[in-house]
Structure 1
Amino acid sequence: MLVGALGLGISFGTMALFTMFDAGLSIIWMPLLGFLAGFSATLVFVPFHASVQIETPVHMTGRVFGVVNSVATTATIIGPLLGGWLSTVVGVLPAFFISSSLLVLISFIGSPLINKKRREDAAY
């Protein structure tokens, strides 16, 4: 999932960077970076839902998936609203740079934490 977050951050940051420098041939690089972003999103969503299915006890499945779907729906509604607000306040390109930087930061911060958790799990 962290690789997916890194891929999303890199693809959206590169889109903003190429747009800022008005790079030519956008008909080529924009769909390629969009494809990278979509592929990276699958590296986040698929493992997340698989881990939720694996880790959830059978008797709690309905409740857990209800909460997961509620949070996803709420994020689908609030995300564009906050993104539009952020773009209005700081501008579109800075909003892309902020979002992509945070995604890359999450992947770099999460990596040592995941490795620490794996070592602790292996010790038990």
Structure 2
Amino acid sequence: MNIPAIPLYLLIHNIVIQESSETSSSSLKRPGKLIEHEFDRVRIEPKDKASITPTGVNNIPQNKGEFTLFIDSVNSINKDDYLLKIGDKVIWNGISRVAVSNYPVYSTDTNKPHHWEVELE
């Protein structure tokens, strides 16, 4: 049984990933420089419920919550074939979260993931 890829109409987000300094293989070559990777056609969903809470000195609302990032192995565009790592920062629509888990989800083909699910906090 072949499971179809995540449809394009569901992959509505584009993100930028900044490598964590602990995980960056190129951090030795370029210290202090953030390495960024662009991903197009991904999906970000609230994991539980997100809330807007006043924080800080100026009482500026801050979006708090956990999210799940879906990266499809067929329809998502990973321009440089970067494999997101735990600790990397994910930025979309001005919101920045850190990847706390990243795991492949397989369908019937055990050699290739159907998609990846990344938990963001």
Scaled to the shorter chain, the TM-score interval is under 0.3
TM-score norm. by structure 1 comes to 0.25
TM-score norm. by structure 2 comes to 0.26
Greater per-residue strand proportion: 2
Greater per-residue helix proportion: 1
The higher relative CO (CA closer than 8 Å, separation ≥ 6) is in 1
